[in-house]
Amino acid sequence: MTGPTGAAPIEVMVVDDSAVIRRFVTEVLTAEPDIVVNQTAQNGQLALARLEAHQPDVVILDIEMPVLDGLSTLEQLRKAWPDLPVVMFSTLTTRGASATLDALALGATDYVSKPSRLGDIETARAVVAAELVPVVRSCAAVRRSRLSYAKRTSAPAPTAPPVPARPLARPGRRSRAEVLVIASSTGGPHALGEVIPKLPATLPVPVLVVQHMPELFTELLADRLQARSALTVHHGADGMAVEPGNVYVAPGGKHLFVRRAGPLCVLGTNDDPPENSVRPAADVLFRSAAAHFGAGVVGLVLTGMGCDGLAGSRAIREAGGCVYVQDEASSVVWGMPGSVAKEGLAEAAIPLGEIAGVLTQQLQRASEVVA
């Protein structure tokens, strides 16, 4: 069997204790010509037993299940299949959001929220299809690309060579670093958990973060980063003063930007239309930072699907600032950082484990330079 382009169809395993949900997700996915559900399981124990024989491209995994729940299943699955994409399918509740963040920290690739009710089946089907199908396709494409490369070379997935950065708008001018802005999406909660807690309490600039997630998730993400970080982490709100040594996470569902309020720099939020199909959008934050801080902006684009952050990175570079990106090998999806690197806007593509150290040195050194 092949998909419409002649490629083998994407094979998916659906793991959920509800027969209704298993059937619903199967119907949504198999309505697509390039996707098949090759196996289902009602708990994690059965899923792990069937993985070896069925070798799916993507696993859709529930969190709350009897016998072996989703988190325990994911933990065991990652030991045997470290690169198999796993998409968590959980309820959009405080408990569900918290468990989803746990799953992302354990190595889940992405998540999609379950419909709150299946009464209006056609509406629920359309919503889940719009959110789940693109994630499944993206996860499968990344996995197949890496497997193809490994088969050809018998080597790990490639790390893209650093792309030469374009010259700054004002060549040779070194400016005082004034702010760090960060963009992240798919794989971002894990990446942020590796970067933010490693930044020192003495960081001389504020840090502003856009992570593509609903508000319930971004609030929990800010709380978790706060618990692990030397810096003070806030869930951003309109009018909040922007101060060095503090991290501000954009609230889900709202664009975040910086604005002047008398002598102060404060956060602004709005409900303007999504950009790059997302709100908050990194481009909005990056553009406002470039307009407000000019050459004092340091940008960082972490793992994520799509190209949000590309236009904003260009604005930062044109204002004289600099941008770093996460490298391909350590990214779950190299869409966002890859788009910036391929345009020649990145100073360097850095492995995830080294980003905090590189940024700390850059920010502390640049903060001592008088423009």
Query: Token pair 């100073």 is at which residue?
Result: 347
Tokens of 52: 């070896």
Q: What is the pLDDT of residue 175?
A: 66
Q: What is the pLDDT of residue 168?
A: 42
| Positive/negative CA dihedral, 117, 118, 123, 124 | positive
Domain architecture of the chain: domains with CATH: 10-153 (3.40.50.2300), 179-367 (3.40.50.180)
Strand residue runs (E) in the chain: 10-15, 35-41, 58-61, 86-90, 110-113, 179-184, 207-211, 232-235, 246-249, 255-261, 264-270, 297-301, 322-326, 349-350
Q: What is the pLDDT of residue 232?
A: 98
Q: What is the pLDDT of residue 7?
A: 77
Could you write out the DSSP letters of every residue in 90-141? Answer: E-SSHHHHHHHHHHHHTT--EEEEPPS--SSHHHHHHHHHHHHHHHHHHHHH
Residue numbers of the chain with a pLDDT score lower than 50:
149, 152, 157-162, 165-174, 370-371
- Whether the Cβ atoms of residue 253 and residue 214 lie closer than 8 Å to each other: yes
Q: What is the pLDDT of residue 292?
A: 96
d(CA 339, CA 341): 6
pTM assigned to the model: 0.86
The strand pair at 264-270 and 255-261 is best described as antiparallel
Catalytic residues: 185, 212, 308
Q: What is the pLDDT of residue 6?
A: 60
d(CA 301, CA 311): 12
